[in-house]
Every structure is written in C-alpha cells, then in structure tokens.
C-alpha cells in the first residue's frame, strides 16, 4: 500500500468516526428524559373516560388536561395520566367520569412521578378535596371511596400542595454514552468496508 492510498484510508476512517460520533451524541441527547405522570391505583364499577386537569398558574383550562380510560377489573389497576414537562404544576383536578353515568370507585394510591421515576411522590388520599357532584366520599387509612350518581356529568375532586419537580437529569452522562456507541459503530463500519475491500483485492 503506497503512502497516498494510506492517507486516503486514514481520511475516510476519520470522517466515518466523526460522523458516527456526531450521530451517537445527537441521538442520545435528543432522547426524551422521561415524562411526568400522575397515576391512580383504583377499582371501578364501570368503564369510563377519566380526565385530569393540571393548574400551571392560570387555573384549570381544557387545554391543560389529559384523558385516560378506566377499565373494569376484579383487582385494582393503575391508570396513568401524562403531564407536561414544562411549567410548575400547582394542583391537580380529577374528573373520574363526564358522561352522566353512575360510578362507584375505590382508590388505593395516588402517585406523582417526575422524569420517568427520577422523583416519585405519594399524594395523600386525605388531602383530596371533593369539589362537585361527588357522593358518599370516604377516606380511611388505606383507600378512598366515592360514588357518582346517574345524571351528574361534571364530578371532580382536587389535590393541592403538589410537590415541586426536581431539576431535570444531567445530559452530560447521556452524551458520553452516545459518544461511546457512536465510536463503536464507526469502528464497525470501518472494519466492514476494509474487509470488503480486502475481499475484492484478494
């Protein structure tokens, strides 16, 4: 192999490594850092489309809400509502059902998770305030029970004193992992094309 050919190989290898390094870092950094979720462990007497409103400082608005289906199961199930990463959540309002059907619900746990589990807070069931069209509301040490009567189409309750979110996770460590995988990918590509050239030259 002459000097000119060797320089070309070195240039091509360097370009491949740099491109793979950049792709690896960008892919890793662009990955979601985990969502905020509000989760209720509950058992319901009927299926429902449930809605959670989150107050970001301007009160409860339709644009600041998310829905999730509630199934009927023999044991409690977890129903999760995805919350926004932006803004400070000041309180949460839960509308268990909005179509006027009757409903009996038992909630055993309410959890707020930040950044995919970086910080997890149990929201006390004792702190729930029934605001409208919530009947038979009862909280003991282990669960919260209530009913929605037929014809009531706007039942809701709220949690205030929401724990603040921690700072987002550091991206530096994620970028280093992206760089490592990028370099490994580049080395694999270099080895692959070198083997192909060797095969056709032999």
Is residue 66 over pLDDT 60? Answer: yes
Whether the CB-CB separation of 137 and 149 falls below 8 Å is answered with: no
What's the pLDDT tens digit per position in 48-63? 999 999 999 999 999 9
Is residue 69 over pLDDT 90? Answer: yes
Q: Which of 147, 104, 144 is nearest to 124 (CA)?
A: 144
Cα–Cα distance for residue pair 74/71, rounded to 1 Å:
10
Is residue 185 over pLDDT 80? Answer: no
Tell me the domain boundaries of the chain: 3-32+169-201, 36-159
Lowest-pLDDT choice from 65-74, 153-162, 171-180:
171-180
Is residue 67 over pLDDT 70? Answer: yes
Is residue 123 over pLDDT 90? Answer: yes
Average pLDDT for residues 59-86, to the nearest whole number?
93
Q: Which of 97, 48, 46 is nearest to 72 (CA)?
A: 46
Q: Tokens standing for 40?
A: 């209720």
Cα–Cα distance for residue pair 176/101, rounded to 1 Å:
53
Average pLDDT for residues 75-79, to the nearest whole number?
94
What pLDDT does residue 175 have? 63
Terminal C-alpha separation, the chain: 13
Whether the CB-CB separation of 53 and 95 falls below 8 Å is answered with: yes
What's the pLDDT tens digit per position in 12-59? 767 776 776 676 666 655 555 678 999 999 999 999 999 999 999 999
Cα–Cα distance for residue pair 64/189, rounded to 1 Å:
47
What letter would DSSP give residue 137?
Answer: E
Average pLDDT for residues 75-84, to the nearest whole number?
94
pLDDT higher at 8 or 49:
49
Cα–Cα distance for residue pair 73/48, rounded to 1 Å:
12
Q: Average pLDDT of the chain?
A: 84
Query: Looking at domain 36-159, which of 3.90.320, 3.40.50, 2.60.60, 1.10.700 is its CATH number?
Result: 2.60.60
């Amino acid at each position: 192999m002459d000097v000119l050919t060797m320089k070309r190989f070195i240039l091509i290898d360097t370009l491949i490594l740099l491109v793979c390094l950049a792709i690896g870092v960008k892919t890793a950094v662009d990955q979601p850092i985990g969502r905020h979720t509000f989760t209720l462990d509950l058992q319901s007497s009927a299926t429902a489309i449930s809605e959670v409103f989150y107050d970001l400082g301007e009160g409860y608005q339709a644009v600041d809400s998310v829905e999730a289906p509630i199934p009927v199961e023999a044991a409690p199930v977890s129903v999760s509502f995805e919350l926004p990463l932006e803004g400070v959540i000041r309180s949460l309002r839960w509308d268990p059902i909005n179509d006027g059907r009757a409903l009996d619900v038992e909630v055993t746990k309410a959890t707020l998770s930040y950044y995919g589990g970086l910080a997890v807070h149990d929201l006390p069931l004792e702190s729930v305030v029934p605001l409208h069209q919530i009947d038979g509301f009862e909280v003991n040490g282990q669960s919260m029970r209530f009913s929605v009567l037929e014809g009531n189409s706007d039942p809701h309750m709220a949690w205030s004193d929401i724990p603040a979110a921690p700072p987002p996770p550091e991206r530096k460590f994620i970028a280093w992992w992206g760089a490592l995988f990028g370099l490994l990918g580049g080395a694999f590509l270099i080895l692959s094309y070198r083997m192909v050239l060797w095969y056709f030259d032999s």
